[in-house]
Amino acid sequence: MKDILHPICLVIAGLGFLFLLRDLKQNRRESSLVLLSLVYLSSALSFAISITPIWIRIDSVLGITNIAVPLAQSCVILVLVFQTSVLAHWALPPQKARRRTRLFGFVGVGVIVGLFVLFALLTPAVQRTSDFATYYVHDPAYKAYLSLYMAAYTTAEVYLGVVCWRHARQASNVWVVRGLRTITTGAVVIMGYCAIRISGILGDSFGFSVARFKDIAWFCGDVGALLTLIGYFLPTLMGRVEGLRGWSRDHYALWRLEPLWRALQAAAPTIALMPAPSQIRELVRFRSVSFLLYRRVTEIRDGMIELRPYLDPQVRAKAENRLREQGLRDPDLAAAVTAEQISQGISSLRRDQDFAEPAEYADARLSIATTEEDMQAQLRIAAHFTPPVVSTPISQPAARAAGQTGGEQ
C-alpha cells in the first residue's frame, strides 16, 4: 500500500515545493512563505526516503539496517514543526509568531534526538523488515520509540485540527477557509493512523494484534498527509490562478485596445510619452502588462481629448438616432456613437477642419469613476471602432505649385 501511495504524495509535495520556489526567490524574508516551502520540502523527503528502493539504498550506503526509518520520521517531525509554525505566522503578531516558532523548533529537535537515541537501543535487525512496526512490536526500546513519535505526531495533529477549524470560522477569504478545513480533515484522517499505531503498542501488553490493519494505517497516514498538503496549498494555488486570470485579462484587453490606440496615436503622436514595448515579447516572457494597460487607457483618453475640437455635432446626432433605431441602449449605444465620433474626428483632424461648437463624446454621459471602469468603457468603444480610411491630403504649397505648373503648360 505505502509503495503505491508514497510516490503519489512525493509528486504532490515535490510539485508544491517547486511551485513555491518562484515566490520564495522574490520574498525570501517572508517567514510564512519560507516555512511553507520547508513544509513541502521536508514532506517530499519523508515520502522519498520511505519508498522501498530508496530505503534499501540508504541502508546500504550508511551500513545501518532500517536507518531510513528514523530519517523519514525525523522529516515528518520537521513537517509538523513547519506546519504549526506557518499557522503561527498566519494567525499571530510577528514577534509572538517567532517565539512560537522557536518553541516548536526546540520541541521538534528534542523529539528527533530522542528518536535516534531510542533507535540506537533497538536490537539490530538482521535484514530490512517489510513492516518495521510489526517486527519490533515486542521490543521495549521500540515501544518507547513509537510512544515518543506518536505522542509528538498525535499532539501536533490535534493542534493543527483545532487551530485550523477555529481560524476557518474567522477567515473571510473563501479559499483560505476551504484550505483550513481541508487541513482539519487531513488531521482527522491521520488520527486513524495514530490510533492503529498506538493500539499496536497497547496490543502487545493486552494480548491483541493490529498487524492486519497495517495497510489501513498507511492509507490513513498518506491520505491525511495529502489532504493537509492540499489544504496548505489551496490559498496559494488559487491566488496564483487569480493572478493568471488577471494576467490573461490584461493581455486580452491590451490586444483589444490596440487598433483604437494606434489610430489615436497616429492622429496625435504626443499622447505617447514613450515607445510601447512589444506585447508579443511581454507575452513570451510571461510578464505582466498591467502598467502598459494603464498607460494605454490613459493615452487613449488623452487622444480623445486632442480630437475634441474636431467632433461634428451632426455626426453624433445622426449616429445616436440610427443606432437607437437598431436597438442599441447605453452603455453600448454611447460606446458605438463614441466610436463613430472618434473615426470622424480623426478624419476632420487630417483635413484641419475644427468646429466652433464641437460635440461632446457620447460616453461623457456615463459615470466613469475609476480606471477599471474607463478601461471597460474603452473596450466597448474599441468593439465598435473602425479606423477611418487614410487619405493623404495635398498640402497648400504643393497645390499652388501644381496650379502654376498647369498654367505654364
- What does the DSSP assignment read for 55-123? HHHHHHHHT-TTTHHHHHHHHHHHHHHHHHHHHHHHHS-HHHHHHHHHHHHHHHHHHHHHHHHHHHTSP
Query: Which amino acid is present at 248?
Result: S
Q: Which residue in 95, 139, 101 sits closest to 121, CA to CA?
A: 139
Q: Which residue in 389, 32, 12, 375 sits closest to 176, CA to CA?
A: 32
> Are the C-beta atoms of residues 361 and 341 closer than 8 Å to each other?
yes
**What does the alpha-carbon distance between residue 113 and residue 145 come to, in Å, rounded to a whole number?**
11
Q: What are the contacts of 391-400 at 24+ separation with CB within 8 A?
A: 391/350, 393/350, 393/351
Burial category of 123 from C-beta neighbours within 10 Å (exposed 0-12, middle 13-18, buried 19 and up): exposed
Sign (positive/negative) of CA torsion 23, 26, 32, 38? positive
**What does the alpha-carbon distance between residue 49 and residue 69 come to, in Å, rounded to a whole number?**
8
Q: Which residue in 52, 93, 81, 88 sits closest to 69, CA to CA?
A: 52
**What does the alpha-carbon distance between residue 349 and residue 200 come to, in Å, rounded to a whole number?**
89
Q: At what angle do helices 52-62 and 31-50 cross, to 10 degrees?
A: 90
Q: What does the block give as the cell for 263?
A: 489610430
Domains located in the chain, CATH noted: 2-244 (1.20.1070.10), 268-384 (no CATH)
- Helices and strands of the chain, counted as H and E runs: 15, 0
At 3 the pLDDT is 62
> Are the C-beta atoms of residues 139 and 123 closer than 8 Å to each other?
yes
Q: What is the pLDDT along the chain (409 residues), one digit of tens a residue?
A: 556 777 888 888 888 888 888 777 776 677 888 888 899 999 999 989 988 888 888 888 888 888 888 999 999 999 999 999 988 888 788 889 899 999 999 999 999 999 999 988 876 655 555 556 555 666 788 788 888 998 999 999 999 899 888 888 877 778 888 888 999 999 999 988 888 888 877 776 677 777 677 778 878 888 888 898 888 888 877 877 887 888 888 888 989 998 998 898 888 888 877 777 777 776 766 777 788 888 888 898 888 988 889 888 888 889 889 988 888 888 889 999 999 899 988 988 888 888 888 888 888 888 888 888 889 999 999 999 888 876 544 344 433 433 443 433 3
**What does the alpha-carbon distance between residue 188 and residue 195 come to, in Å, rounded to a whole number?**
11
Please give the helix or strand (H or E) that residue 139 lies within, else none.
none
At 81 the pLDDT is 94
Other CB atoms closer than 10 Å to residue 399's CB: what's the count?
Answer: 11
> Are the C-beta atoms of residues 294 and 339 closer than 8 Å to each other?
no
At 124 the pLDDT is 63
Burial category of 325 from C-beta neighbours within 10 Å (exposed 0-12, middle 13-18, buried 19 and up): exposed
Cα 6 to the chain's mean position, in Å? Answer: 26
- What does the DSSP assignment read for 104-117? HHHHHHHHHHHHHH
DSSP 329: -
> Are the C-beta atoms of residues 136 and 142 closer than 8 Å to each other?
yes
